[in-house]
Structure 1
């Protein structure tokens, strides 16, 4: 590895072999390794991304706050240097929901339970702002530093023709939010289920107080892409709160550049 690891991170890894984890689209580098009988992950956030929700220092704080509130990875070590931020977490139990993508009824049930658990986290003392306004400010930083997702696709929104169109539209359609605790990147790769049907949540850098439709929109999009429209509709109907297409569209558009 060309990057210089902080001493506490280097010491914990020791002589363990690092295996690059290529799942996911985050600009952070992720490596898995074994130590004794345990499996761990090293996540590295480049320094330029430290002011954003890609920050692993922020994620470590979110995970620590959630400990005892949700089943999340144990934070083993966190450190930073001039090159970036570094976090080691212990691997959670089970398999990702993605492994059950061909079992529609099961995955709908588990996604619904995941939302229930997330939204049940009390937010009166939650210190993490993940509101649409906060995320738009973050998006401005990413775009200004040419760090936004380069392969964004606006084809399903024919009234948007450019990046600037998208940014202006997001600012002009900022919704009134129904605040809950949100995962921020809820998808079939970021929720695990173990043999006892217990759920475990990973990749919580964007976790915090946000509108309830943020997570719903991302799950609905995930199901549309990986299953079909009927399954995605079944998920929405099962929530029992009615649909909100305008909010779903807003949060899908917001996520397009991340």
Structure 2
């Protein structure tokens, strides 16, 4: 653990054993633990990320707002600490879509349903701005603080060599946005399906108002890279609207340094 846990968080965990969850590339730490027959997750983020979408307190607020709108983990506790932020959530049932992909099971219709559910959320009173301008300011901050993912790969985008090149490209190509509710990191590790076929969404820290093509771009990339080009093409063809490759590229590039 990177910092001392607030008393309420520490008291809830008590003497339970924390098991580190290594899945994902976020700077947040996630630990799994048990209380009786129930499983919970402790998620912590360092203070330097408090103004970003890595903020655990932001994620807790997003999850609480989404409760009753789509299936998300229950936030049991959320609290700031001297050097960071902490949240405890109850584990969701089911398996991540990544497990289904690993077993060769179909996920295309599940991804379609995930997108439908999220984009059906009314945004009339959504207080979370995850639009392109906000995310670009966030990326500026992360680059300036040296907090970007150093394992970036620009080979697929000619003319980009450095993070500064990418920032300039993004500023020059920022799209006109059709705002919907967006998960912000809609991938096979963050969508669970239970035995009844019900979906649940985790890791919603980037959730909020954003262009409808952000989540589409992430699903398309996931299918293209981990299932097949054919499945990715089928997904786009089933959207019922023309493809927007420039927007998909923008959101893939925006994600590269996170």
Q: TM-score, normalised by structure 2?
A: 0.98
Contact kept in structure 1, 2:183 and 2:208, CA below 8 Å: yes
Contact 1:236–1:243 (8 Å) recurs in 2: yes
How far apart, CA to CA, are the structure 1 residues paired with 2:218 and 2:112?
13
Q: Is the 8 A contact 1:30 1:42 kept in 2?
A: yes
Q: Counterpart in 2 of 1:6?
A: 6
In structure 2, the partner of 1:211 is 211
Return the offset for 1:238: 1.4
Instruction: State the match for 1:142 in structure 2.
Output: 142
Using the TM superposition, give the Cα deviation of residue 106 of structure 1 relative to its aligned residue in structure 2, in angstroms.
2.8
Task: Find the residue that maps to 2:223 and give its secondary structure.
Answer: helix
1:161 CA displacement: 2.2
The superposition leaves residues 29-65 of structure 1 with CA deviations (integer Å, 9 ceiling, x where unpaired) of 0000000111000000000011100001000000000
* 3-state SS of paired residue (2:24): coil
Deviant stretches of 4+, over 6 Å: none
Aligned to 2:68: 68
Question: Does residue 172 of structure 2 align to residue 172 of structure 1?
Answer: yes
1:103 CA displacement = 6.8
User: Aligned equivalents of 1:251 and 1:18: distance in 2?
Assistant: 35
Give the C-alpha shift of residue 102 in structure 1: 5.1
**Separation (CA, whole Å) in 1 of partners of 2:105 and 2:178:** 28
Other-structure match for 1:93: 93
Q: Which residue of 1 aligns with 2:16?
A: 16
Shift of 1:7: 0.2
CA distance, structure 2, for counterparts of residue 212 and residue 244 of structure 1: 11
Q: Could you tell me how far apart the structure 1 residues matched to 2:104 and 2:118 are?
A: 21
CA offset at residue 250 of structure 1? 0.2
Shift, 1:228, TM fit: 1.6
Using the TM superposition, give the Cα deviation of residue 149 of structure 1 relative to its aligned residue in structure 2, in angstroms: 1.1
Give unmatched runs, 5+ long, in structure 1: none
**Would you say the 8 A contact 2:47–2:84 is kept in 1?**
yes
Cα gap change, 1:2/1:203 in structure 2, threshold over 3 Å: closer, same or farther?
closer
Structure 2: which 5+ residue stretches go unaligned?
A: none
Task: Give the match for residue 151 of structure 1.
Answer: 151
Alignment coverage as a number of residue pairs: 258
> Aligned partners of 1:113, 1:181: CA distance in 2, in Å?
14
Q: State TM-score, norm by structure 1.
A: 0.98
Distance (whole Å) between structure 2 residues aligned to residue 238 and residue 100 of structure 1: 21
What SS class does the counterpart of residue 155 from structure 2 fall into? coil
Q: Is residue 192 of structure 1 aligned with residue 192 of structure 2?
A: yes
- CA deviations 1:123-160 (Å, max 9, x no partner) are 01000000000000000110110001111110000121
CA distance in 2, matches of 1:180, 1:2: 35
Alignment check: 8 A CA contact 2:143 2:163 kept: no
- More deviation in 226-235 or 173-182? 226-235
Is 2:245 aligned against 1:245?
A: yes
Please give the per-residue CA displacement for 1:176-229, whole angstroms capped at 9, x wherever unaligned. 001100000000000000000000000000000000000010111111111121
Q: 1:143 to 1:38 in 2, by over 3 A?
A: same
Give the Cα separation in 2 of the matches to 1:64 and 1:106.
31
